[in-house]
Structure 1
Amino acid sequence: MAAEEPVTSPDQHTPTPVKAARVAGVVVIVMLLLMLFGNHEGNVETLWLIGVAATLAAILIIDVVLRRNGLRD
């Protein structure tokens, strides 16, 4: 199999749509935070929603910082 695949450099691969991924991440964060106004009674759901939204926000912020510093493609 390896003999049949063409040899390409990393810059020949199609780039990941970074802007679309960032917009999708922000949309998911907003949707998670909007779910706080649901009909749940306990605080466990609230903690999970805030925790997942905060984790996604941290991942997006780290990605922006790494790309700005040139440490990520």
Structure 2
Amino acid sequence: MAATDLDKASTERAVATSVDPAEVPSAAWGWSGESRKTFRIAGWVVVVALLGMTIGNHQGHVEDIFLISLAGLMALIMIVDSLTQRMPK
């Protein structure tokens, strides 16, 4: 007999999470939360991309000031976040 939505197959594992699937729908299929490492890598990629945009044929350097300051702000936020994450609570 094939498994249906109402009759679970005996080979399926129950997902044990401490998150209520009603609040977080993705918890029902086994994933819930954030990947800090992925967000940090993406943040550093964005910082490098912003600094890479300063290379070009700019007549005035107002764009460069905004790009460098935004990249510096993002880098500062990520550094503070990584330092505060290491501190014991």
Q: How many residues are paired up?
A: 61
Aligned to 1:62: 80
Same amino acid, percent of matched pairs: 39
- Can you give the 5+ residue segments of structure 2 that lack an aligned partner in the other structure? 1-16, 20-31
1:12 and 2:18 matched: yes
CA displacement at 1:59 relative to structure 2: 0.6
Aligned to 2:12: none
Give 1:27-38 correspondences, 5 Å limit.
27-38=45-56
Separation in structure 1 between the aligned mates of residue 18 and residue 84 of structure 2, nearest angstrom: 22
Structure-2-length-normalised TM-score: 0.63
Structure 1 residues 12 and 70 mapped into 2: Cα distance closer, same or farther (>3 Å)? Answer: farther
Q: Which runs of 4+ in 1 moved over 6 A?
A: none
- Can you give the 5+ residue segments of structure 1 that lack an aligned partner in the other structure? 1-10
Aligned to 2:41: 23
Aligned to 2:14: none
Q: Which of the pair has more CA radius of gyration?
A: 2
Separation in structure 2 between the aligned mates of residue 19 and residue 28 of structure 1, nearest angstrom: 14
Separation in structure 2 between the aligned mates of residue 45 and residue 24 of structure 1, nearest angstrom: 22
Higher relative contact order (CA 8 A, sep 6+): 1
Compare the two structures and name the one with the higher helix fraction.
1
